[in-house]
Amino acid sequence: MIKTTKKHMLLLAAIASLGFSAPSAFAQVQDVVVDGTGEIPYVIDSRNVVARSGFGLCWRTGFWSPAAAETAMAGQFPVGCACDSDIVPAAKCTVAAAAPAPTPAAKPSADKIKLSADALFDFDKAVLKPAGKQALDELAAKAKQVNLEVILAVGHTDRIGSAAYNKALSERRAAAVKTYLVSQGIDSNRIYTEGKGKTQPVTGTQCDNVKGRTALISCLQPDRRVEVEVIGTK
């Protein structure tokens, strides 16, 4: 009986000389495979898997220290995360949460509207008609439904008359459009105007053989226009 007790005491002393540590819940459910072949602070088998006691405890070697438990790696974490979770800082044992992907910025959309100048103004005039104001009321309402960046108003004329006269007329008409939109609550700094005169006709050569001024004016009607482009994000 005395001999048996001495054997038990020697076995316990041997175990105490090796040292052991309690694993985390992570270590109890899967093997801990240590990377590399350097100084490993825990006993490992031929597969580089940390050896455990019957209670699932990791056996420490003579190389063990708190620093070694943090530096020897088992995958993406220090091996000590599984064997000495009370010693290794928790921050080293968790995957940092990925930063949320930035929300894509809304891309500005452009809505280009071609308004007949004859619907906005009397022929050869730059004073808005009631029907023209109604068309611009609808445009202003649409602009208020978006995060407005800019409104571009570009005036065009037909080819009747001099280039200088038509340039000035197209500019006056574009300016009249801006003035009215501002009166409807659109920020004047968001509206840009330009007059192209007769330099950008859309009728091409289709009116070249038209005889008589009245008939020519009617044929060239598509050239007399104001193009308004609303740019913004929804």
The residue among 93, 126, 156 that closes a domain is 93
Shared-domain flag, residues 79 and 119? no
pLDDT of residue 202: 92
Shared-domain flag, residues 77 and 157? no
The residue among 93, 123, 157 that closes a domain is 93
Shared-domain flag, residues 168 and 219? yes
Q: What CATH number corresponds to the domain at position 116?
A: 3.30.1330.60
Low-confidence ranges of the chain (pLDDT < 70): 1-29, 37, 105-106
Shared-domain flag, residues 64 and 116? no
Model pLDDT for residues 29-84, shown as the tens digit of each residue: 478 888 876 778 888 888 888 888 777 788 888 888 888 888 888 888 888 888 88
Look at residues 231, 222, 233 and name the one whose alpha carbon lies nearest to residue 110: 231
The token duo for 94 is: 């968790």
pLDDT of residue 21: 52
pTM for the full predicted model: 0.55
- For residue 3, being part of any structural domain is answered with no
Contact 70, 88 (CB under 8 A): yes
Angle at 26 between CA 22 and CA 28, to 5 degrees: 60
Q: In which region does residue 153 sit, left (phi positive, over 0), alpha (psi from -120 to 50) or beta (all else)?
A: beta
User: What are the start-end ranges of the E strands in the chain?
Assistant: 20-21, 58-59, 73-74, 77-78, 109-116, 147-156, 191-195, 225-233
Average pLDDT, the chain: 82
Contact 25, 33 (CB under 8 A): no
Contact 119, 207 (CB under 8 A): no
44: containing domain: 17-93
pLDDT of residue 27: 38
